[in-house]
Amino acid sequence: MVMGCRFFMSTTLSLAATATATLQEFASNHAKGVAKVVLKKGKTQLFKDGSPMVYSGAVDRIVGRPPPITGDLVLVTDGTEKPIGWGLYNSVSMFCVRLMQLEDEAAKDPSCVLNVDRLLESRIGSAVELRRQLRLPSAQTNAYRLVNSEGDRLSGLIVDIFGDEAVVASSAAWVEKYKQQIRDCISKTNHVNHITWRPSIDILKEEGLDLSHSRGVDLSHSPRMALENGIYYLVSLEGQKTGFYADQRENRLYLSSISNGQKVLDVCCYTGGFALNAARGGALSVTGVDSSSPALEIARENVVLNNLDPRVISFRKEDATHFMKKAIANDDSWDIVILDPPKLAPSRKALQNASGMYRNLNSLAMQLTRRGGLLMTCSCSGAMTQSGTFLRVLQGAASMAGRKITVVRQAGAGCDHPIDPSYPEGEYLSNVLLRVQ
């Protein structure tokens, strides 16, 4: 038994040594050579644990001549220059390396080591398989997220599917560099016949790329139609937004299940996602409010697409705050109110100011909710969700409104938006259902 244990320990240590050597060997045999990004003392464990974004403040030095340039493959090492993984370098961004594969993963799957083409095939294939396990697409839904950045181990890459259309959101320099390879992988996905590329212009500027004069989006076949929970939506591919957000799919379905016989108000309704589900769920009346004329045009077309009764569901073009204040003055109220404003806190710096806006909007929404009714309130600001203060803001709103609230349900994005627990910053959506008294 002792000899067996010693043999097992010896074998384990040998395998560990081989794994380390494998990554080093791949780097030394690479045709162009591979620089090393050496981490500061005390910073290694975070990335060993899987955090994919190596920020510049964690880097002690870079070993390699000539130094790497944006898009180059690099090893990320501890202070002794022992590799912990490899990734893609950026000389400008605050995230100087996006880790693609850790050292132990490289030992298990050497085919992907320092090979972005093979890694893309593997990761996108894995993302497709996960959605199949989640029954996406299905007879009821063909609008979903296929690749969710860090959640699918491809930091900076988002792919949304709308029917046979794949919409790629690029927010990292490496994604732009490997644009064709990404297109090739996505084109092999069943049901995808068209690919629209949407570079995130402002974010890519921080990555050192100026694409402000790039056309970026193919418009030859827009708009298209998507199916979600048995409801049809027009998806406009013009501009920088699709006019449809699949992240609320499960929350919209839940709303539909509680809307029967209710009077419903959808504030900041955009193209009518929640409003349509409430009407389909049997609401007595549904009113959608938004300040965007193009969005409301699509919302009204969606009503016709789904053969919904226009006497039950209607939309109004008006500023949300102005509408709610006027409705309060008229002593109007609704059984269910949905408040889903646009991103109010694009960064942590904007969080304090945004908290005030969320508080004021929710205070008005609570006053429009009949006593004992329900308010479904949302935040798509990652800074708000990650701060953990959204419930506190809602309590402040309740105090302003002179109401008492109870949390009935808390949710985030759907299951097609996986989150890497080593990168909780990927969580951005909050959906809270409140009872208002």
Catalytic residues: 380
C-alpha span between 262 and 250 (Å, rounded):
20
Are 142 and 191 in contact, with CB atoms under 8 Å apart?
Answer: yes
SS (H, E, C) the chain: CHHHHHHHHHHHHHHHHHHHHHHHHHHHCCCCCCEEEEECCCCHHHHHCCCCEEEHHHEEEEECCCCCCCCCEEEEECCCCCEEEEEEECCCCCEEEEEEEEHHHHHHCHHHCCCHHHHHHHHHHHHHHHHHHCCCCCCCCCEEEEEEHHHHCCCCEEEEEECCEEEEEECCHHHHHCHHHHHHHHHCCCCCCEEEEEECHHHHHHCCCCCCCCCCCCCCCCCEEEEECCEEEEECCCCCCCCCCHHHHHHHHHHHHCCCCCEEEEECCCCCHHHHHHHHCCCCEEEEEECCHHHHHHHHHHHHHCCCCCCCEEEEECCHHHHHHHHHHCCCCEEEEEECCCCCCCCHHHHHHHHHHHHHHHHHHHHHEEEEEEEEEEECCHHHHHHCCHHHHHHHHHHHHCCCEEEEEEECCCCCCCCCCCCHHHCCCEEEEEEEC
In angstroms, what CA-CA distances link 128 with 198, 246, 427?
20, 16, 21
Note the maximum CA span of the chain.
Answer: 85
For residue 172, with 0-12 CB atoms within 10 Å meaning exposed, 13-18 middle and 19 or more buried, which class applies? buried
Are 85 and 101 in contact, with CB atoms under 8 Å apart?
Answer: yes
- How many residues are listed for the chain in this entry? 437
Residues 6 or more apart whose CB falls under 8 angstroms from that of 135 comprise none
> Taking the chain, what is the end-to-end CA distance rounded to the nearest angstrom?
69
* Strand 405-411 with 430-436, pairing: antiparallel
